[in-house]
């Protein structure tokens, strides 16, 4: 998931920031480490750092939970302290459910993602232990707090969910994840639509649809408005004309 | 999570759309239903509908995985078909990992969230079975496709992750003041559209439109896609049914 090196990357001062490092501080379950790896790789993040994982490292429960994101686990590095884990990073973000007494900028995930993309260096995002979250010292070490705006009556984000929301927001700023675009055909030219409507009117007229005559103008307009609304393309207009032709055929029964 | 009834809600045309319904189509594991409920409630969504859950309902595995989001599970309703589950919804979104052959607008989660907030009626978001995703008929029934832009080399979103990303994006629009909306009639509920399409099919069948039989499934889907596109309101659907009724009458000549 290295970034595209073409384009403005060669111009000094305009280089895009490298992808952020995901730092799991004292993670408890190997399974959650695996799920976090999967969440990261889904959105193109590959660098995981572990600070004093409770059950040591490697952890046999991590692999199966990663659902194929083994590369992230294989490259994960272990540190004794948060300070060591973020030593090469210029900006540190602490994720918390609620802000503590610490006075720091509190960012939403999308604001944090923009800040990370605009940063001149590498950023690190800290995630606390499953049960307790980051402790005050770790929050104090960070430059920014990131808080996911969550239902105040039910806040129950697990580690992998917190990771995926941050990774997802970060990926929006990357071009790697552009959505597949459907080649929508342009709407059919008006003449084609007119032909179709005329065909339908020719069928409806003898069937008595425009009765009584004084309502005919309004009825035609209503039908025209309705059939103009969809912006059908030429193919779709052709399909509908086939439908009408079928209905106009002498009954087979 | 009902919307705030104060303020501009009394002014016609400025009411916020109700929260979308999350529809799990043939979900396999109770655990995943529970995790989806937790993901929903984290971001204020409470209405879950289940279409033909594999292991029946209620499912004892769902509760523990919901981590306290029991209210969502308790209120979940079960349907036999997607058509029944979305019958009262005016806009249907199908979540897919990759686009199929169907030609519909493909939205990112944030674009879908904006569209849902701007919709005049209630929206439903379909999520397919864990292993296979939504089948083509379910996608054909939807008005929009929602695709999470994901790492093209590692796309491995599970059900609850897909739900949480959609719910998260939807929740962003909740805190914002919704812009005044033009007072357009909402699209007809899906059930009305289904009735209209069934009426047309009943006319086309004896006329030989679905010949040869091996093309019938594709032909039905094409027609359905085309007729789902316009988002006609109830009045317009009624008008079209009148057109069809007229064409089905014994010829007067």
* pLDDT over 60 (residue A13): no
Interchain pair A179, B208: CB under 8 A: no
Give CA–CA dist B96/B134, Å, rounded: 7
Cβ-Cβ contacts under 8 Å, A43 against chain B: 150-151
Whole-number Å distance between alpha carbons of A230 and A184? 13
| Residues within 8 A of A (CB atoms), B 44-63 only | 44
**CA gap B219, A35 in Å, rounded:** 42
Closest CA to A162 of B204, B252, B164: B164
pTM above 0.90, yes or no: no
Per-chain mean pLDDT for chain B: 85
Tens of pLDDT, residue by residue over A67-86, are 999 999 999 999 999 989 99
- How far away is chain A from the Cα of B8, in angstroms, using its nearest Cα? 23
| B172-201 residues touching A, CB cutoff 8 A | 172, 175, 200
| Contact at CB, A247 and B204, closer than 8 angstroms | yes
> What gap in Å lies between CA A92 and CA A167, rounded to an integer?
15
Q: Name residue, tokens 């962003």.
A: B172
Separation of alpha carbons A115 and A170, rounded Å: 10
Tell me which of A42 and B9 has the higher pLDDT.
A42
* Nearest alpha-carbon partner for B23 in B69, B87, B68, B67: B87
Q: Residue A207 and residue A228: Cα distance in Å, rounded? A: 22
Residue A69 burial (10 A CB sphere; 0-12, 13-18, 19+): buried
Among B124, B190, B158, smallest CA distance to B34 is for B158
**What is the rounded average pLDDT of the residues A15-36?**
93
In Å, how far is B9's CA from the nearest CA of chain A?
A: 22
pLDDT for the residue numbered B179? 41
Closest of B155, B168, B154 to residue B125, by C-alpha: B168
Beta bridge partners of A115: none
* Residue B106 bridge partners (DSSP): B145
- Taking CB atoms and an 8 Å cut-off, how many pairs form between chains A and B? 160
Q: Write a three-state SS string for A113-162.
A: HHHHHHCCCCEEEEECCCCCCCCHHHHHHCCEEECCCCCCCCCCCCHHHH
d(CA A154, CA A133): 16
Say yes or no: A218 contacts chain B, CB-CB below 8 A. Answer: no
Q: Which residues in A lie closer than 8 A to residue B155 (C-beta atoms)?
A: 42
Contact yes or no for A179 and B247 at CB 8 A: no
Helix axes A190-204, B234-248, angle to 10 degrees: 50
Give the helix/strand (H/E) hosting A229.
none
Q: Give tens-digit pLDDT for A159-217.
A: 999 999 999 999 998 864 444 444 456 777 777 888 888 899 998 888 888 888 888 88
CB nearest to B230's CB, from A41, A150, A229: A229
Res A222 pLDDT > 60? yes
Measured distance CA(A147)–CA(A104) in Å, rounded: 12
Taking only the tens place, the pLDDT of each residue in B34-63 is 999 999 999 999 999 999 999 999 999 999
pLDDT in tens, B66-84: 999 999 999 999 999 999 9
Q: Is any Cβ of chain A less than 8 angstroms from the Cβ of B167?
A: no
Of the residues A207, A208, A219, the best mutation for testing chain B's interface (the one with the most B CB atoms within 10 Å of its CB) is A207
Q: Provide the strand spans (E) within chain B.
A: 21-25, 48-51, 77-79, 91-95, 106-107, 123-127, 144-146
Give the position of tokens 């918390």.
A96
Q: What pLDDT band is residue B183 in, cutting at 50, 70 and 90?
A: very low
Q: Are A44 and A164 in contact (CB under 8 A)?
A: no
Using the Cβ of A246 and the Cβ atoms of chain B, whether some distance falls under 8 Å is answered with yes
Instruction: Return the structure tokens found at A178.
Output: 């552009």
ipTM for the predicted complex comes to: 0.72
Would you call A11 an interface residue with chain B, using a CB distance cutoff of 8 Å?
A: no
Q: With contact defined as beta carbons under 8 Å apart, do B103 and A185 qualify?
A: yes
Distance CA B57, CA B49 (A): 11
Distance to chain B for A205, nearest Cα, Å: 10
Q: Do A185 and B149 lie within an 8 Å CB cutoff?
A: no
What residues of chain A lie within 8 A of the CB of B240, using their CB?
226
Residues B184-218: tens digit of each pLDDT:
577 888 888 889 999 999 988 888 888 888 888 88
Q: How far is B82 from chain A (nearest CA, A)?
A: 24
Q: What is the mean pLDDT of residues B134-151?
A: 89
Interchain proximity A161–B156, CB inside 8 Å: no
CB contact A170 to B (< 8 Å):
no
Residues of chain B contacting A230 with CB distance shorter than 8 Å: 226, 229-230
Q: What is the pLDDT of residues A230-249, one digit of tens each?
A: 778 888 888 888 888 888 87
Crossing angle of the two packed helices B216-228 and A234-248, in degrees rounded to 10 = 110
Q: What's the full length of chain A, in residues? A: 253
């Amino acid at each position: 998931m290295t970034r595209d090196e073409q384009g403005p990357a060669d111009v000094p001062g305009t280089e895009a920031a490298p992808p952020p490092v995901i730092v799991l501080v004292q993670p408890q379950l190997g399974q959650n480490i695996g799920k976090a790896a999967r969440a990261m790789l889904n959105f193109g993040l590959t660098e995981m750092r572990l600070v004093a994982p409770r059950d040591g490292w490697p952890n046999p429960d991590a692999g199966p939970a990663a659902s194929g994101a083994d590369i992230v686990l294989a490259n994960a590095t272990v540190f004794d302290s948060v300070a060591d884990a973020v030593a090469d990073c210029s900006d540190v973000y602490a994720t918390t459910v609620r802000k503590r007494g610490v006075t720091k900028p509190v960012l939403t995930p999308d604001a944090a993602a923009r800040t990370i993309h605009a940063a001149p260096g590498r950023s690190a995002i800290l995630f606390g232990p499953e049960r307790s979250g980051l402790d005050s010292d770790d929050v104090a070490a960070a430059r920014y707090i990131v808080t996911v705006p969550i239902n105040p009556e039910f806040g129950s984000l697990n580690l992998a969910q917190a990771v995926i929301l941050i990774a997802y927001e970060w990926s929006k700023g990357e071009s790697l994840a552009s959505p597949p675009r459907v080649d929508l055909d342009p709407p059919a030219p008006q003449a084609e639509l007119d032909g179709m409507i005329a065909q339908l009117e020719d069928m409806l007229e003898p069937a008595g649809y425009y009765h009584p005559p004084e309502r005919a103008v309004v009825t035609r307009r209503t039908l025209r408005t309705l059939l103009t609304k969809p912006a059908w393309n030429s193919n779709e207009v052709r399909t509908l004309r086939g439908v009408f032709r079928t209905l106009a055929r002498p009954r087979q029964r």
